[in-house]
Amino acid sequence: MGVHKVMDHKDKLGLLEFMTGGELPCRILVLEKTDYLPALRQMFPQGELWCTLAEGEGAAEPEFAGLDVQWCHVDYLAQRLPLQEKYYDYILGEDCLENAANPQDIASGLGLYLKDTGYLLLSFLNIRYWRVIQNLMEGHFYYLCSRIFARAEMNSLLAASFYKDVRLLPVRGEEPPEGLIEGLEAAGFENIGDELQVERWLLQAAKSTPEIMELKRMYTPQLRARLAVLLRRLEYGIVHGIDGEDNLFELWELCGRELVFPAYLASFIREAVIHINDLLWQLSPWRLDREKQDFWSELLVELSEAYEDSGDRYLVEGWQQGCPEPAYAEQPGELASPLPEGSRIAFITCVNNEAMYQEAVLYLRQLHLPPGLEAEFIPVRGAASMCRGYNLGAAQTRAGCKVYLHQDTLIVNKNFVFDLLRIFADKTVGALGVIGARQLPASGVWWDAMRTYGRVLHACEPECVVETACMEPPAPWIEAEAVDGLLVAVQTDVPWREELFDGWHFYEISMCKELQRRGYKVVIPHQQRFWCIHAPKEKPLAPAYKVFQKRFLREYGGELQPEIQ
């Protein structure tokens, strides 16, 4: 999070400080604050200007004549914007969260309309401003109908709304009475960067970090998505693709056809790959191929520079002399006791995206299986709800172990089945998930819990893999009250509550509670390396989420013992 120069409280149109004008045809959406429009037209003579108004004529006002503004009469706090998604370079929303019932919904919702390289510009009142604190000391709080935020709170809100880079510009308020700031500091109020004298913050929030934004600007989304798919397959030791194609050869062809040069590929790998050594193991045949030797050598040099600030730099440089064994090649060992011949494990998935599901199955087919165990892959298409789909899938198999997973979940731990069966040797364990909550909070939302455990890799966009790591369970597992639905493995047949959860939310938390009602444990395993990659699209929580949250609390709320009330 960066901080720019300090502005005076008398400055107007402060959000323009984040913008550099020019002849580019930038697309700019302004929320309500029409004062910005004349200045924006002057800064961007070739730009497209849009403005939302909850009420008022807009275009009929004489000061806007000739500005060529597209008007949209809608209340952005109450209605979905009838505008094109992923269209705007900038959205200006001065004070746009002050009157929002759910600021995170508004912030994440606005992000839908930004390009991948776009910026949200907004401002907010600083709750740590000296005058606010002084009023509180005198028994007054004048913000009953609006919200004010602390800088840290806003940063967390934007991170939860899928913004990756936030830059702040402080706006100073009036000078405080003599000695007040010193008194507040003596009372324990931190004043880093004179924050107690900041009346409001202006901020710029981007959907990508600067490094990833540069990657996005150079090639099409389709090429970047394919590049990510191929690199990920190679990173996890998948040599052949869905149709049997050689992934390494296709990567080489793609780089040649689309002129993907070594410096770009190195930057892409730096952001999209977790295990650089494992990827280099798969790329290493290039060093022996006369046609590819120069590309390989230059790639190693560029990777060394890309990993300059990381310990992985030494792994890259080590490839000039040797070839370390990839971690995914680790063998699973043996189970404590052999499985009966004809044993089965079923992988059950609700499917509405065939390409995504086929990619998930490609990874499932790479898993090591113990002798005597057969894997079944059961897609359920057109399900009315997750619970309904999972019940339909369960009815199609007699497998003793069932793994319910999202179509966008890739199991990258090749020893997953062995690890799972070792934990399921304890018959008191009813279900396993890779991330969740030790105890649910009163809201029933697992990620709001005081103690969350487990880990998963998130690949919400091709150019970036994010490590979502909570507390690490002790080996081999820790008992939890709830796990996330990206993967839920069970070894006992308990029906999914489709009569209650006839949608796409809280189905997995319900299953956890149903198992616990029957005396079974739900656990989260210790993961030496991440077991799964989850690749969902970033989007705001659907309005239906609250509906199912209420249903969950009506059914199970009396059984919760939250650590946070």
Q: Over the stretch 234-281, which tens digit does the pLDDT of each residue have?
A: 999 999 999 999 999 999 999 999 999 999 999 999 999 999 999 999
Query: Is residue 8 scored above 60 in pLDDT?
Result: no
Q: How far apart are CA 490 and CA 430, in angstroms?
A: 6
Query: Is residue 318 scored above 90 in pLDDT?
Result: no
As a whole number of Å, the CA-based R_g of the chain is 27
Q: Over the stretch 360-408, which tens digit does the pLDDT of each residue have?
A: 999 999 999 999 999 999 999 999 999 999 999 999 999 999 999 999 9
Looking at residue 130, what is its pLDDT? 95
CATH number 3.90.550.10 is the correct assignment for the domain at 343-559: yes
Q: Given pLDDT bands bounded at 50, 70 and 90, which one contains residue 430? A: very high
Query: Is residue 143 scored above 90 in pLDDT?
Result: no
Query: Is residue 128 scored above 80 in pLDDT?
Result: yes
What is the percent of the chain where pLDDT is above 90?
A: 77
Query: Is residue 57 scored above 70 in pLDDT?
Result: no
What is the percent of the chain where pLDDT is above 70?
A: 96
Pick from 46, 187, 68, 79: which is nearest to 128 by CA?
Answer: 187
Query: Is residue 9 scored above 60 in pLDDT?
Result: no
Query: Is residue 7 scored above 80 in pLDDT?
Result: no
Looking at residue 1, what is its pLDDT? 45
Mean pLDDT for the chain overall: 92
Q: How far apart are CA 275 and CA 382, in angstroms?
A: 36
Q: How far apart are CA 113 and CA 93, in angstroms?
A: 13
Looking at residue 4, what is its pLDDT? 44
Could you give the 3-state DSSP secondary structure of residue 53?
Answer: strand
H or E segment to which residue 201 belongs: strand 198-206
CATH superfamily of 2-207: Vaccinia Virus protein VP39 (3.40.50.150)
Please, what is the angle between helix 262-272 and helix 221-235, to 10°?
70
Residue-range domain boundaries for the chain = 2-207, 213-329, 343-559
CA neighbours within 13 Å on the CB side: how many for 75? 6
Average pLDDT over residues 113-119: 92
Contacts of 62 (CB under 8 A, 6+ apart): none
Query: Is residue 505 scored above 90 in pLDDT?
Result: yes
Q: Given pLDDT bands bounded at 50, 70 and 90, which one contains residue 127? A: very high
Looking at residue 2, what is its pLDDT? 47
Q: How far apart are CA 512 and CA 290, in angstroms?
A: 56
Q: Over the stretch 485-497, which tens digit does the pLDDT of each residue have?
A: 999 999 999 999 9
Q: Given pLDDT bands bounded at 50, 70 and 90, which one contains residue 52? A: very high
Looking at residue 3, what is its pLDDT? 45
Q: How far apart are CA 342 and CA 252, in angstroms?
A: 42
Around Cβ 480, how many Cβ atoms within 10 Å?
Answer: 27
Around Cβ 229, how many Cβ atoms within 10 Å?
Answer: 20
Q: Please report which residue ranges of 197-292 form alpha helices under DSSP H.
A: 210-218, 221-235, 247-257, 262-272, 276-283
Could you give the 3-state DSSP secondary structure of residue 131?
Answer: helix
Looking at residue 565, what is its pLDDT? 52
Looking at residue 525, what is its pLDDT? 98
